[in-house]
A = this chain, B = another copy of it.
């Protein structure tokens, strides 16, 4: 009889289970685990995010499935999980950035922004009448002297990574990063490693046309998404590299 778990998850507020976990938050994480795979990788000269959009029909307009967003000039984000929830969070992040410009006349710090988003998410795990957000974000950006790569999750927890992944392919991706990531990579190498990770997580079902890449260089401090041709060229390069000796070692 499966009654108990059925009754356990559909209540009006996120509460603790006897072992101290917040069920609704864990189920929201499950929504992320069902999402598209997104990765972020820091390099010495910048930071990149890459997403495999998993488009299943030729009738879709690929650009309408946007998974990488510009938040501010110097900040971008990749999302995984419920797409409507992601849009709410991206909008919130953009507004927070603009408020900072208006109030302090300077661009918002990447970590400050990431914390604001996480505080916003936390609220949805403690008060009644709402559910948590079913979305994780990778937030990347450039501060004065270094680039940042944050991962936020439905609980409002915030972690900074050198390289990380969210979504369905997370564990496959992390395995590759643990093995091949080097802190002295430059942005081009990081993108190749990110593509390799997405490629392996997708077990071959992977096309340049459904891949999004966003990058920000420490020098320029301008987040931008790569053009379709650029993406295609990098994918070719990555595939060639895997065929030879592996990306990380080149």
A-side residues, CB < 8 A to B, are: 1-24, 27-34, 57-61, 63-65, 82-85, 87-88, 91, 115, 118-119, 121-122, 124-134, 150, 155-164, 174, 177-178, 181
**Which chain B residues lie closer than 8 Å to A63 at the CB level?**
160
**Which chain B residues lie closer than 8 Å to A11 at the CB level?**
10-12, 15
**Which chain B residues lie closer than 8 Å to A14 at the CB level?**
131
What's the Cα separation between A126 and B88 when bound, in Å?
11
Given A6-B5, A127-B129, A130-B127, does the pair A64, B13 have CB atoms closer than 8 Å? no
Given A18-B9, A127-B130, does the pair A162, B122 have CB atoms closer than 8 Å? no
What's the Cα separation between A203 and B19 when bound, in Å?
23
Whether the pair A84, B121 counts as a contact (CB closer than 8 A) is yes
Q: Which residue of B29, B157, B163 is within 8 Å of A59 (Cβ)? A: B163
Q: Which residue of chain B lies nearest to A13 when distances are taken between CB atoms in the complex?
A: B12
Q: Which residue of chain B lies nearest to A2 when distances are taken between CB atoms in the complex?
A: B4
What's the Cα separation between A207 and B110 when bound, in Å?
28
What's the Cα separation between A174 and B60 when bound, in Å?
11
Shortest C-beta distance, A183 to chain B (Å), equals 10
Whether the pair A122, B88 counts as a contact (CB closer than 8 A) is yes
**Which chain B residues lie closer than 8 Å to A131 at the CB level?**
13-16, 22, 126
Whether the pair B87, A119 counts as a contact (CB closer than 8 A) is yes
Given A88-B119, A131-B126, A157-B83, does the pair A15, B7 have CB atoms closer than 8 Å? no
